[in-house]
Homo-oligomer: A and B are copies of this chain.
Amino acid sequence: MARKIHSRGNHMLSLLRRILIGHPLATDRIEHEKLGKAGGMAIFAADPMSSVAYGPEEVLLVLLVAGAAGMRLNVLVCVAIAVLIGIVATSYRQTVIEYPSGGGAYVVARENLGPLASHIAGAALLIDYVLTVAVSVAAGIAAITSAVPALYHHRVLIAGICVALIALGNLRGLRESAAAFALPVYGFVVCAVITILAGLWQLARGSMTPDAPLTALPVLQPLTMFLVLRAFSSGCVSLTGIEAVANGVQAFREPRGRNAAAVMVYLAVILAATVVGVAILAHQLNVVPRETETVLSQVGAKVFGRHAMYYVLQTLTALILIFAANTSFSGFPRLSAFMARDGFLPRQMANLGDRLVFSNGILTLAALAIALIVAFQGDVTRLIPLYAVGVFTAFTASQAGMVLHWKRQGGRNWRAKALLNGFGAFCTGVVLIVVAVTKFVYGAWIVCILIPLVVLAFQAIARHYRYVASRLSLERAGEVRRRRNLNLLLVGGMHRGTLEALEYVRALGGPVRAIHIEAEGETEPRIQRLWDAYEKEMPLIIIPSPYRNLAVPLAEYIRQVRSQEHYDTVTVVLPEFIVDTWWESLLHNHSALWLQFQLRSEPGVAVVNMRYRL
């Protein structure tokens, strides 16, 4: 199909677009790659597994302020997190089986808890998608700068470029291909497991020397219950990503629910084991978190020495983190398109781009994530307190919704199922409160303010669309009546283009007038004589403009005509000629464009751009 519209400007833009985004795809080519268990594991493990790279470290960072006594509780806190992972996964298994067409928190809440709960869940999820990108990329860059410290000072720039590249890939319609995810995800899982096993083996044999004992650590704060809970809250970021499986059930092969549920279980087991494993190693090796090197990097360096295997671990860590960010780039646009179709977000979010992806969602996510990275200077530890509030809000809403779902639906064992989801909702609800309270002053307040604001925005948007729909409703159509229109040709000067425009406006049919706005302050404008020489039938109306403005006297005249001569509309024809290059167009006043802008909300005025070539 010929797609070319003849214009150099358009051509340049469209060429740039082709190079960056690729050729457009036809609508009927939309399709899904269907996943089995292994493929599903590859795609959905990236987000949760990647948190192993920073979760245990954040726990340690909190406990560090209580000195050696705090550090000793590290393993205990990580075990608690592993138990929570088990509870959430068990509870979510039921959701996945019950909502085979996608059981994200927004959908489950909307169907079972009503609009407000679904808005809260939606807002929480959207915020968390942005945070996932920011945290994952920042942590991925931290894995790289741990191995190559020289890059540390450029981390914000590198992270920004990284987000932009992921966004570009997604704009091109990079699909979540199981093949592409398999290497980094399975690679990282295998590598993490090897690290843990090799580490434990070496510890058992005594062939590895731990760092100096931690007794020398300064005690900055006493070891309170609050501090332990805060450490637990920080570690809870490891649970983000479990939600992704529920959102993406549609992507699985039949039986969708069963396949997804199986992946959920495998995932929970590996994730819990890895978190605890890293915690034990860090504890035994007396690793202390440092600003410029991650805990995982320190553990890896101890186990393997700074040789090939260490660099493999760091590379895979960076890769899985960046793939985790990529997961959000399918989740955020899909959810925002979904909410846009429901009328809670701008319609543009539901537009399919050239490559059949929701381009506006991708661009919005990238812009927000980059803003966040810049604002927090790419510092994972400063971003973490904002994280997890959103995901636990979504967990709680989703599991609570499931309880009502079972109650309404009934069926075999519904009470047991409702009890299980109820227990999940209770646990995640308690954790939500713990997370919000313990991290509040460290940044969670931002999210606690943001979620209600976003919900209010959803509602304002929905109100606006309802208002527009009611105003445009065809039920009011009886009022439409015949109209009278006057065509008004705006004459700037007497030249060939003016004569062509005059022929055009006559060809339109209907009454025509020609008007000239005299802005030069001449009392007997030269144009009058020229006009009279060429045009015998129609007079030229000349209106003085003492303030040299075109729009004001024109609008004045139009209002007068409409009220005195009872025209419903006045169609203003603005002739403008086209030049060949951008620099030539700088040499002309563009008064037509400017006039059109100024007249844009004058009632009863339609503006015609009549462009002619030289």
Binding site for B on A (CB under 8 A): 1-3, 5-7, 9-10, 24-28, 346-348, 351-352, 354, 461, 464-465, 467-468, 471-474, 476-477, 480-485, 487, 494-497, 499-500, 503-504, 506-510, 519-521, 530, 534, 546-549, 551-552, 555-556, 568-569, 571, 573, 577-579, 584, 586-589, 596, 598-603, 605-611, 613-614
Name the residue among A483, A484, A506 with the largest chain B CB count within 10 angstroms: A483
Whether the Cβ atoms of A587 and B464 lie closer than 8 Å is yes
Whether the Cβ atoms of A547 and B26 lie closer than 8 Å is yes
| Across-interface contacts of A25 in B (CB, < 8 A) | 547
Whether the Cβ atoms of A484 and B507 lie closer than 8 Å is yes
Whether the Cβ atoms of A28 and B601 lie closer than 8 Å is no
| Chain B residue, CB-CB nearest to A599 | B5
Whether the Cβ atoms of B552 and A608 lie closer than 8 Å is no
Whether the Cβ atoms of B472 and A497 lie closer than 8 Å is yes
CA distance A520 to B347 in the complex (A): 14
Whether the Cβ atoms of B27 and A546 lie closer than 8 Å is yes
| Across-interface contacts of A600 in B (CB, < 8 A) | 7, 578, 609, 611
* Given A9-B601, A547-B1, A496-B476 contact (CB < 8 Å): yes
* Given A7-B601, A546-B26, A598-B10, A507-B569 contact (CB < 8 Å): yes
Pick from B28, B347, B530, B552: contact of A587, CB under 8 Å: B347
Whether the Cβ atoms of B482 and A500 lie closer than 8 Å is no
CA distance A158 to B414 in the complex (A): 73
Contacts beyond the supplied A25-B547, A481-B503: 5 A-B pairs with Cβ under 8 Å: A1-B547, A354-B548, A471-B496, A477-B499, A578-B601
Whether the Cβ atoms of A556 and B2 lie closer than 8 Å is yes
Whether the Cβ atoms of A546 and B28 lie closer than 8 Å is yes
Closest Cβ of chain B: how far from A464's Cβ, in Å?
6
Whether the Cβ atoms of A351 and B589 lie closer than 8 Å is yes
Closest Cβ of chain B: how far from A394's Cβ, in Å?
25
Pick from B3, B10, B467: contact of A547, CB under 8 Å: B3
| Across-interface contacts of A484 in B (CB, < 8 A) | 507
The 6 A-B pairs at the shortest CB distance, nearest first, are namely: A509-B509, A472-B495, A7-B601, A509-B510, A27-B521, A471-B614
Whether the Cβ atoms of B473 and A496 lie closer than 8 Å is yes
| A to B CB contacts below 8 Å, 16 in the list | A5-B551, A6-B601, A27-B520, A27-B546, A471-B496, A477-B496, A477-B534, A484-B507, A487-B508, A504-B606, A509-B510, A603-B613, A606-B610, A607-B608, A607-B609, A608-B608
| Across-interface contacts of A605 in B (CB, < 8 A) | 611
Closest Cβ of chain B: how far from A535's Cβ, in Å?
11
Whether the Cβ atoms of B483 and A5 lie closer than 8 Å is no
CA distance A564 to B351 in the complex (A): 34
Pick from B480, B496, B521, B606: contact of A611, CB under 8 Å: B606
Whether the Cβ atoms of B552 and A521 lie closer than 8 Å is no
Whether the Cβ atoms of A504 and B477 lie closer than 8 Å is no
| Across-interface contacts of A508 in B (CB, < 8 A) | 485, 487, 508-510, 571
Whether the Cβ atoms of B472 and A496 lie closer than 8 Å is yes
| Chain B residue, CB-CB nearest to A494 | B474
Whether the Cβ atoms of A468 and B5 lie closer than 8 Å is no
Whether the Cβ atoms of A480 and B496 lie closer than 8 Å is yes
| Chain B residue, CB-CB nearest to A23 | B547
* Given A508-B508, A521-B27, A551-B5, A474-B495 contact (CB < 8 Å): yes
| Across-interface contacts of A521 in B (CB, < 8 A) | 27-28
* Given A5-B602, A27-B521, A601-B578, A584-B464 contact (CB < 8 Å): yes
Pick from B24, B348, B482, B519: contact of A589, CB under 8 Å: B348
| Across-interface contacts of A577 in B (CB, < 8 A) | 468, 472
| Across-interface contacts of A26 in B (CB, < 8 A) | 546-547
Whether the Cβ atoms of B587 and A474 lie closer than 8 Å is no
CA distance A472 to B530 in the complex (A): 14
CA distance A464 to B519 in the complex (A): 24
Pick from B3, B347, B497: contact of A588, CB under 8 Å: B347
| Across-interface contacts of A473 in B (CB, < 8 A) | 495-496
* Given A6-B602, A465-B587, A494-B474, A24-B549 contact (CB < 8 Å): yes
| Across-interface contacts of A504 in B (CB, < 8 A) | 483, 485, 569, 606
CA distance A556 to B494 in the complex (A): 33
| Across-interface contacts of A549 in B (CB, < 8 A) | 3, 24
CA distance A594 to B471 in the complex (A): 24
CA distance A609 to B484 in the complex (A): 17
Closest Cβ of chain B: how far from A8's Cβ, in Å?
8
CA distance A181 to B3 in the complex (A): 63
* Given A465-B587, A551-B5, A503-B474 contact (CB < 8 Å): no
CA distance A481 to B9 in the complex (A): 30
Pick from B5, B480, B509, B609: contact of A596, CB under 8 Å: B609
CA distance A344 to B571 in the complex (A): 36
CA distance A551 to B508 in the complex (A): 23
| Across-interface contacts of A471 in B (CB, < 8 A) | 496, 614
| Across-interface contacts of A584 in B (CB, < 8 A) | 464
| Across-interface contacts of A6 in B (CB, < 8 A) | 601-603
CA distance A433 to B509 in the complex (A): 68
* Given A496-B477, A534-B477, A607-B608, A485-B472 contact (CB < 8 Å): no
Closest Cβ of chain B: how far from A411's Cβ, in Å?
37
| Across-interface contacts of A598 in B (CB, < 8 A) | 5, 10
| Chain B residue, CB-CB nearest to A5 | B555
CA distance A508 to B570 in the complex (A): 10
